[in-house]
Structure formats: C-alpha cells, structure tokens
Amino acid sequence: MSDKLLYETVARVLRVPLETIDIDSSPETIARWDSMAQVALMLEVESVFSVRLHSDSLMALNSVRKIRDALVHLGALPEAP
Amino acid sequence: MTAYDPARRPRVAVLCSFNVDLVHGPLSEALAARGLPSELYFSGYGQWESDLHNSASELYRFGPQVVVVYPDLRDVVPAFGSTVPSKHEAEAAGAEAASALGQGIETFLSRAPGATVLCTGLTVPPVNALGLLEGNAGYSWRSAANAFNAHIQDLSEGQGRLFFLDIEPVIQRVGWTAWNDSRLWCIGRMRLARDAYPHLAAFWARAIRAMLTPRRKCLVLDLDNTLWGGVVGEDGLDGIQLGHSGAGLAFLEFQRAVKTLPARGVLLAVCSKNNRDDALEVFRAHPSMVLEASDFTAMEIGWDDKATGLRRIADRVGIGLDSLVFWDDSPVERALVRRALPEVLVPEVPEDPALHAEFLHGLEAFDTLTLTREDIRRSAMYREEAQRKTVRAAMAEGPPEAFYRACGIEMTVVRADDFSLPRLSQMVMKTNQFNMSTKRYSTAEIAAFMRAPDIDVHALRVSDRFGDLGIVGMAIVRRDTSPWLLDTFLLSCRALGRTIEHGFLGFLSRRATSAGAGLRALYIPTARNAPVKRFLDELGLEPVPAGGETFHVTIPSGLVAIPSWLTLTIEE
C-alpha cells in the first residue's frame, strides 16, 4: 500500500489525469469532486485499502491529505511517504 | 410490448424511493454489455412518485421506453422502523402503499403509450423491530411486502406494459450486509452498499434486455459427458454415469433442469458425435434417463462436424442460427462452433457437472417476461408435426384422401372475439403465402370490423388426432354488398396441404348461398401469394380485373364442397 495507490484511486474515481492529483487536492481544486463523487471515492478507498470508515469520516475526509491521514491512522498506509 | 429499434438508443428512466444515483455507471455498462447502450434518466430524490403523476415532469419530457421503479419498504411504509403493527395492520399498510404507487404507474402508462414499467418488488430488511416475533403471535412485517408485491403482480396481469421484478433472490445471493449500507442513508439518503450496485445493474439490464430483444428459442445439447457421464460408445449402457448418487446424480439433476425448458417455450435438440443406435438405446433403455427422445424437436447424431449438425437443426426447426444455444462439455467443440457459427451462443460450461443445473437456470439467453399460449405449445406443435410427417410418409403410396382421413381433421369456425384478436392481428400482419388480398389491417381496425353490424370476422381453429393447431385461418366477409364480399381470406402455412382451405371456403360459400346473397372474393396477386393462385386454378375459378391490382373472383354456389374427411363445427 502506497501514496501512489491512493492518488491512482482518487484519479480513477474522479476521472481526472493522475498528474493533477497531489496531497492538497480537494473539492476546491478539482471541479468533479462534488458530494456524490465524495461518497463514491470513500467507498472505493474502503475497498482498495480494506478499511471501514466511520460515517462521520465519509463526508469529512474531503482532501487527499485528510484521506491519507485517516489511512495512516488505520494502519493502511505507512506514516512516512 | 415495445420493440427494440436498433437505430435508436433505448431511453431508460429510473425512479427510486431513495438516492440510487451511484448505479448510473454500472447500469450503463451492464446495458452496453448486453448490446443495449442506453440513455439514462434518474428522478430527483423524493420526486420518484410525483414524476409519474406530473405530465410536465422531467420524466415525461425524457420520453422513456422503459421505466424502472424501485421502492424500498422503509420509504413507502414509513411506519416501518418506528412501530410494531399486527400482521393485519402490516398487510394493510403494504396494500395501501402498492395502491398509491399503482395509481401513479397506471396514470403514467395511460399518458405514455410507448413506455413499459418494470416495478421492482419490496423486501423486508432482515434486522428489524420484530426480531423473533416475525411470523409469530400475529406479527409479520413480511406480510406487508407480500401484500405490496401481490398488488403490483395483479396490476401487471391486467396491464401488458407493467412487469414485476422480484429482487429478493438477488439480495439473497449478495447477502444483506453486502447489500445495505446504513452509513450512506445518514449522509446521503442512499441505501445500497458499494457491492450492491453491479448486481442491481445486472438484474435490471437483464430484465430490460428480455423486454426489448427476442430471446433464444432452442437449446442444442451434446450427449456424452453432457446428459450422462462417460462415453456410451466405449463404456456401454451400464457403464455411463447417470443415477442417484455422485457424478451420476449431477447429470440427473442437469437433465431435470433441461426438462423444464419446453414448458418455458424453449425447444430442445441434440447434436452429438455418436453411433445413432448407441445413443438412442440410452434414451430407450437406461432406467435413470429423465429426458425422453420425444422431448427433442430435432436430433443430429452421427459423425459430421457439429457446425453442420447445428445448421441442419436450424433448418429443420425453421429458426435462425441466432436462436440457438449450443451446450457441449468439450472446449474444443465449443471453440470450433464459435469460430464457424458466431451467431450461435456457446456458453462456457463449468467443468464440474454438479454446477450444470444451476448454470443452465442462470443463462440469460432464454429470459422472457411473458409466455404466450403459443410459446408454451411450441415444443408440442413441432412434435405433432413430425408425427404427421411420419404418418404421411408411411401412407405415401396410397391416395392423399386416406392420409386426410387418418388425421381426423376437425375445423371449428368461431366468431372473432377479444381472446382471438391478438392472434388474428398477428396473422393479418404476417401471413404472406395463403393470403388472398394481403390487406394489412391494424388491431384497432379488426376490432372495429368485429363490432360492425354488416361485417363478419370468422376465426378458424383446427385440430387433428395429433394435436391442436390453434387458430390458423381468418375470413372477413362484408355483407353490405351483393353478392357478399370476401375481403380477407387467409390460412397460416402450418395448416396448408390438407384441404382445409377447401373446407373453410366451402363453409363461407354455403353460408352466403343460404342467405340468398352469393359470394365474391377479393384477390390481389403479390410476389408471395402463389399458393392462392394455384388454389383458384384448381377450382377452375377465373379472377376478373376490378381496377388497379385488384381482381374479383365469383364463387359459384355449390362449387366448393366441404371435403367429407373434414369435420366442421360452427360455434358462432
């Protein structure tokens, strides 16, 4: 499991080029990242990283950085990139 | 039912009681994978029912051919989750919800004549307030779902453009915990879990395809290692695997599954490489055979390649190669047939015979949402026709009258009614060969003739000792002219060649004569109706030009006798 896998997941779900994704990507920087895309992204992240998120997190994890922090917290990603 | 026009992408609307927008992608893919790339519309959250009632809604503007409706018990029976009603109260709540939705569906169908509605049934979330009380002490939430579903099914029986979709088996297969996601309800009014969407999409796409495209009509089976284990030519009748335990039981269960297909309007055929006598001996003599030789409409058993056998079967049965499904345990044979005959569907049969019965039931190729009387009788009719041919061949030396007598043909003339109308309309549109005027009337026009005081619409039913051919002839007689005018006179090709046309015309002529009117027929020659010309020549009747392409043929009273071997009954 790596940051690259997370970036690829975000790019695939939002249907944007991988190069446009960085740690600060969020609905502010990607127009396609609306509330439906947020839910679809969370479900995909759960599946790819084999984790289960709290319902509060499903809407709250609305940037790549927040998703990464949550995955680190859950032990699904290493702390250092 | 709406026919699929390949030039137009189907327009499919989804009306759901909760937010199901995430099925958009999977549904697009599932439809495209079935050859039906479609335009999709989703009702806004909370608008699914009002969309049906409001003819100014986006739904009506979208103009769908197919509307998929998906209600959830928790939405349409709001008391679920907060009350513990008696079984009767639950039933009443389910019926009330169905009645409200049913009104919306009927309103929509009456205003959208080109649309068909597929209504997904209700299911009960397995974890609910009743717990162990479900079905006990006079409590049952399941009775709410049952009442709802029964109401929608009743509506669909009286309405040719509404079908019920039972989603319970899909949820059972996926499992409730993989189907439902309560977190998503709280954050976005969604109810389904990630893994549910592809299953829901496949289920709907399967139904939409069954509705829009013709299904396959014939399953062609190999014999060795398909209907039984082993090779009968090598292992012998006693050595093959077929019975009540082990591998033999797997083949027995498969035969039981195959046996259900003719009742669903699917014909059976055999295409195998065997010595014919070895193979037929198994049908005759093996005590555990479920299938009988008479279950099969065609059998190609020999040493020709399978593609040749399949072509012969399609020819014999009179259907296209694109109506065949070919089942063979051998990957080599499957690959050869796929290459030689790409129109034939060749499923990738599981290697383990224990899985075959379920795999067969799961094949989408035979899916249909309706079964007409003709579908159900199809297999029997082919079998009866084969028996006629056998008897005819055996009597080929003698005069044809002897064969007609042996058939014991019974003709029944009935006045057209609402029950016969669909079949009459089908014949008017499709009959080319024995059709004297080839006038193509719409169903509504035929219905109008039936009601007109001076027009008779006669339907002809025929049966013989081999079986019932159903309605095979039709005549429209105008009594507002003198002599009476036989405007339409047609016979289905499966009734030709046994003097039924003489009997039918004899009846019409006799009837006109006894009314003192006489009979004149309208004849319009076409590229296809040469059998009519031969019939007129045989009777020595001379068509007289009547303007344009039309001719009149006067039928002299007493000229056309009803053959003595036909039994005529008049039920008018």
Hey, which residues does B224 pair with through a beta bridge? B228
pLDDT recorded at residue B204 = 98
Fold match, B218-366 / B400-571 = no
Within 10 angstroms of residue B340's Cβ, the number of other Cβ atoms is 14
Confidence of residue B391 (pLDDT cuts 50, 70, 90): confident
Domains contained in chain A, number? 1
User: Residues of chain A whose C-beta is under 8 A from some C-beta in B?
Assistant: 35-36, 39-40, 43-44, 46-47, 54-55, 58-59
Mean pLDDT calculated for residue range B122-130: 95
> Spelled out in words, what is the top-level CATH class assigned to the domain B218-366?
alpha beta
Chains A, B: CB pairs < 8 Å: 23
CA–CA gap between residue B42 and residue B62 (Å, rounded) = 10
Is the pLDDT confidence value at B502 over 80? yes
- A35 to chain B: closest CA residue: B188
Q: In what order do the strands lie in the sheet with B298-302?
A: B298-302, B267-273, B218-221, B324-327
Q: Let me know if residue A29 belongs to a domain.
A: yes
CA–CA gap between residue B472 and residue B412 (Å, rounded) = 10
Quick check: B464 and B407 in contact, CB under 8 A?
yes
Confidence of residue B208 (pLDDT cuts 50, 70, 90): very high
Confidence of residue B5 (pLDDT cuts 50, 70, 90): low
Is the pLDDT confidence value at B395 over 80? yes
CA–CA gap between residue B456 and residue B453 (Å, rounded) = 8
pLDDT recorded at residue B449 = 94
> B22 and A40 in contact by Cβ < 8 A?
yes
B203's enclosing H/E stretch is: helix B196-212
Please, which residues have CB within 8 angstroms of residue B98's CB and are 6 or more apart in sequence? B147, B148, B149, B150, B151, B152
* Average per-residue pLDDT for chain A: 94
CA–CA gap between residue B113 and residue B65 (Å, rounded) = 9
B489's enclosing H/E stretch is: strand B484-491
Q: What's the pLDDT tens digit per position in B518-549?
A: 999 999 999 999 999 999 999 999 999 999 99
Please, which residues have CB within 8 angstroms of residue B64's CB and are 6 or more apart in sequence? B11, B12, B13, B41, B112, B115
> Domain of A55: which CATH number?
1.10.1200.10
Hey, which residues does B522 pair with through a beta bridge? B552
pLDDT recorded at residue B258 = 98
Give the C-alpha distances (Å, rounded to integers) separating A46 from A30, A40, B195, B198: 21, 10, 11, 17
In the three-class reduction of DSSP (H, G, I as helix; E, B as strand; rest coil), residue B32 is classed as helix
Q: Which two tokens stand for residue B318?
A: 């009179």
Q: For chain B, which residues make up each domain, given as ranges?
A: 11-212, 218-366, 400-571
Q: Let me know if residue A78 belongs to a domain.
A: no
Tell whether B22 lies on the interface with A, counting CB pairs under 8 A. yes
> B187 and A55 in contact by Cβ < 8 A?
yes
Residues of chain A contacting B21 with CB distance shorter than 8 Å? 36
- For tokens 């071997």, the residue is B565
Residues of chain A contacting B186 with CB distance shorter than 8 Å? 55
How far B333 CA lies from chain A's nearest CA (Å)?
Answer: 40
Q: Let me know if residue A79 belongs to a domain.
A: no
How far A55 CA lies from chain B's nearest CA (Å)?
Answer: 5
Q: Let me know if residue A54 belongs to a domain.
A: yes
Q: What's the pLDDT tens digit per position in B313-371?
A: 998 887 889 999 999 999 999 999 999 999 999 999 999 999 999 999 999 999 988 87
Mean pLDDT calculated for residue range B500-513: 96
pLDDT recorded at residue B398 = 86
Is the pLDDT confidence value at B59 over 90? yes
pLDDT recorded at residue A13 = 96
Tell the burial category of B521 from Cβ atoms under 10 Å away from its Cβ (0-12, 13-18, 19+).
buried
3-state helix, strand, coil in chain A (%, to 5): 55, 0, 45
Tell whether B519 lies on the interface with A, counting CB pairs under 8 A. no
Is the pLDDT confidence value at B1 over 60? no
The CATH code for residues B400-571 is: 3.40.630.30
Is the pLDDT confidence value at B6 over 70? no
In the three-class reduction of DSSP (H, G, I as helix; E, B as strand; rest coil), residue B176 is classed as helix
Indicate the fold that domain B11-212 takes in CATH: Rossmann fold (3.40.50)
Confidence of residue B2 (pLDDT cuts 50, 70, 90): very low
Q: What's the pLDDT tens digit per position in B248-286?
A: 999 999 999 999 999 998 999 999 999 999 999 999 999
Residues of chain A contacting B187 with CB distance shorter than 8 Å? 39, 55, 58-59
- Which residue range is the domain that position A26 belongs to? 3-73
Quick check: B486 and B541 in contact, CB under 8 A?
no
Give the C-alpha distances (Å, rounded to integers) separating B520 from B479, B482, B551: 11, 9, 10
Quick check: B227 and B255 in contact, CB under 8 A?
yes
Mean pLDDT calculated for residue range B380-384: 82
Q: Let me know if residue A9 belongs to a domain.
A: yes
Q: What's the pLDDT tens digit per position in A22-40?
A: 999 999 999 999 999 999 9
Best of A58, A59, A62 to substitute, by most chain B Cβ atoms within 10 angstroms, is A58
Torsion of CA B534, B537, B538, B542, to 10 degrees: 140
pLDDT recorded at residue B214 = 81
Quick check: B543 and B552 in contact, CB under 8 A?
yes
pLDDT recorded at residue B316 = 83
Q: Which two tokens stand for residue B235?
A: 């292992």
Tell whether B21 lies on the interface with A, counting CB pairs under 8 A. yes
Best of B183, B191, B192 to substitute, by most chain A Cβ atoms within 10 angstroms, is B183
Residue A75's identity, in one-letter code, is G
Q: Which two tokens stand for residue B6?
A: 């390949």
From the list B294, B337, B341, the residue with the least C-alpha distance to B320 is B341
Mean pLDDT calculated for residue range A5-9: 97
Q: What's the pLDDT tens digit per position in B86-119?
A: 999 999 999 999 999 999 999 999 898 789 999 9
Is the pLDDT confidence value at B206 over 90? yes
pLDDT recorded at residue B4 = 55
DSSP string, B105-167: HHHHHHH-TT-EEEEEPP---SSSTTGGGTTSTT--SHHHHHHHHHHHHHHHHT-TTEEEE--
Q: What's the pLDDT tens digit per position in B458-467?
A: 999 999 998 8
Quick check: B166 and B121 in contact, CB under 8 A?
yes
Q: What's the pLDDT tens digit per position in B414-444?
A: 999 877 887 898 788 778 899 999 998 877 7
Name the residue facing B21 among A36, A43, A44 (closest C-beta): A36
**φ, ψ (nearest 5 deg) of residue B414:** -125, 150
- A13 to chain B: closest CA residue: B25
Is the pLDDT confidence value at B38 over 60? yes
Best of B180, B187, B191, B195 to substitute, by most chain A Cβ atoms within 10 angstroms, is B187
Residue B436 region by backbone torsions, left for phi larger than 0, else alpha for psi between -120 and 50, else beta: alpha
CA–CA gap between residue B376 and residue B314 (Å, rounded) = 19
How far B58 CA lies from chain A's nearest CA (Å)?
Answer: 21
Quick check: B525 and B549 in contact, CB under 8 A?
yes
Residues of chain B contacting A43 with CB distance shorter than 8 Å? 193-194
CA–CA gap between residue B408 and residue B388 (Å, rounded) = 11
> B187 and A46 in contact by Cβ < 8 A?
no
* Average per-residue pLDDT for chain B: 93
pLDDT recorded at residue B379 = 82
